[in-house]
Amino acid sequence: MPAPRFSILLVFLLLLGGTLKGFTQNLRGRIVDANTNEPLAFASVYYNNTSVGVQSDIEGKFSIKSMGLNVELVVSYIGYETINFPINTSYLGRSLLFKLSPKVNEMGAFQVSSKRGKSWYHNFELFKKKAIGVGMFANNCKILNPEALQFAYDTATLTMRASADEMLKIEHSAFGFMINYSLSQFEYNILTRVFVIKGFPFFEKMTGSPAQERRWRNNKKLAYEGSMLHFVHSIHNRALQQEGFELHWVERKPNPAFVEDPKIKKAVNALKRQTLYEASQPENAHQQTISRADQERFLEFVDTSAVSYEDFLVEADSMVYLQFRNYLQVKYAMPGYTWASSQSGTKTSLVFLSKERVALDPSGRVLEPDMLMLEGYWATQLLGDLLPFDYLPQKEKD
C-alpha cells in the first residue's frame, strides 16, 4: 500500500488549556513598552484558545479571572511581539509585569508582497486554503481584515511565509464566533507540502436568534466529533472505544523497488521558474510528477490488532504522557457525514511524535501540540474547525 503524501501540521498551539481546578483569585498585572516602560493601553489579554479575555486600562493595568494552571496567558498589542505566558503555581498572588517589544520583520530575506495586486490576492487565496482549511465549515469563515497580511516567497526553497501586523479578525458564521487570531508563524513549502501554522486564538461569542443558536450548537458538535479535542477527552475518560475511536499501529518502510525518476529534478527546477500560485496548484503537472514519486517512496503496513492504553500512554511524576515510536492510526466513523470536499465517512488520522513523550494535563489535553506530526483528517482541522479548548458538547445550553 503506497504511503499517503505527508501533510504535516504543527497544530496551532491549540490544546494548551489545563485543568479548571486551581487558584480562584484574579490574575493582575501591567503591560508596558520594553524600551520606554510607557504603559500600553487597551492591549489584549486572554487565555489561549478560549473566550476569556480583557483589555488593559489607560495605565496598562489588567485583571482577569483565573482559569487554573497549565494555561497560557496571551498578551497582544498592535505593532508589538505577542507574549504567550504559561501560568503555574509560582505566580499565585503576584502582580505580573509584561514588557512588550516592537515587532521585528523576520521576512527580510524573502521577497515580501504587501501591495494588494494580483499576486497578493493569489497568495491570500492560498493562505486561506491552508490556514482555514477545506472542511465543511471553511466557507463560513471570513477574514475581515485581510489587509493586515503580508506574504513572502523564497524561490530557492519554494517556501511561502505569511505575517500579520495585527490580530486577524475572523468571522465564523457557522459556529457563532468572532475569532481574534494572533498569527505567530506561517510557512508552507510547496515542494514537500509541509506547512507550519502557529497562533493564539481568542473567541468572542456572537449573539443570535434561538434558531441561529441552535444551528451554531449543532455545527460545533459536528466539528467536535472525531476531532483531536474529542480524542484527548476520550483518552482522559478511558472511553475511546465507547466514543467511536479505533486505533491501529502503522509502520512506514522504504520501498525497495523505488527508483528515483530523473524527471523529478526537472520538475523541481520547473516549479522554481513559476509563480507561487502556479507552482502550488495540485493539478500542476510538475507537482503531480513529484507527488507520484513520493507515494512510491514508502510502503505502509497496518497492524490490525487492538491497541491498548498501555501501548501508547505512560505515567510518570504524577503526569500522563503519550509515548510511542511508530505512526498511530486513529479512526473515527460517522457514516454519511462529509468532512471535507473529497472525503466522507470514516475520519482517519495519523499521529507521529517528534519527541520521546508528550505530556497530557490532568484534563487529558496535549501540553505540547507542536510536538505532534499529523496527517489525514486532523491535518485538515484548521481555523474552519477550531473550537475553544474547554468546549464540551454536554455543557452547551439548550
Average pLDDT over residues 298-319: 90
CA distance 309 to 373: 20
Would you place residue 5 in the very low, low, confident or very high pLDDT band (cuts 50, 70, 90)? very low
Helix, coil or strand: residue 345: coil
pTM of the model: 0.81
CA distance 152 to 129: 16
Q: What is the pLDDT of residue 351?
A: 95
Q: Which grid coordinates are listed for 103?
A: 515587532
CA distance 297 to 325: 20
Q: Which grid coordinates are listed for 99?
A: 514588557
Quick one: how many helices (H) and strands (E) in the chain? 8, 25
User: What is the longest distance spanned by two Cα atoms in the chain?
Assistant: 68
- Tell me which architecture the domain covering 27-100 has in CATH: Sandwich (2.60)
The pLDDT tens digits of the residues spanning 156-212 come to 888 999 999 899 999 999 999 999 999 999 999 988 888 888 899 999 999 999 999
Query: Side-chain half-sphere of 393: how many Cα atoms within 13 Å?
Result: 15
Strand partners, 201: 181
Query: CA-CA distances (angstroms) from residue 278 to 121, 158, 188, 286?
Result: 13, 12, 14, 10
Average pLDDT over residues 68-93: 82
The pLDDT tens digits of the residues spanning 261-281 come to 788 888 888 888 888 888 888
Give exposure, 243-281, as e/b (b: 16+ Cβ within 10 Å): ebbbbbbbebeeeeeeeeeeeeeebeebbeebebbebbe
- Classify residue 58 as exposed, middle or buried by CB count within 10 Å of its CB (0-12, 13-18, 19+): exposed
pLDDT over threshold 50, residue 17: no
The pLDDT tens digits of the residues spanning 328-382 come to 999 997 654 544 444 556 789 999 999 999 988 766 678 888 888 898 888 888 8
Tell me which amino acid residue 81 is. E
pLDDT over threshold 80, residue 56: yes
Residues of the chain with CATH 2.60.40.1120: 27-100
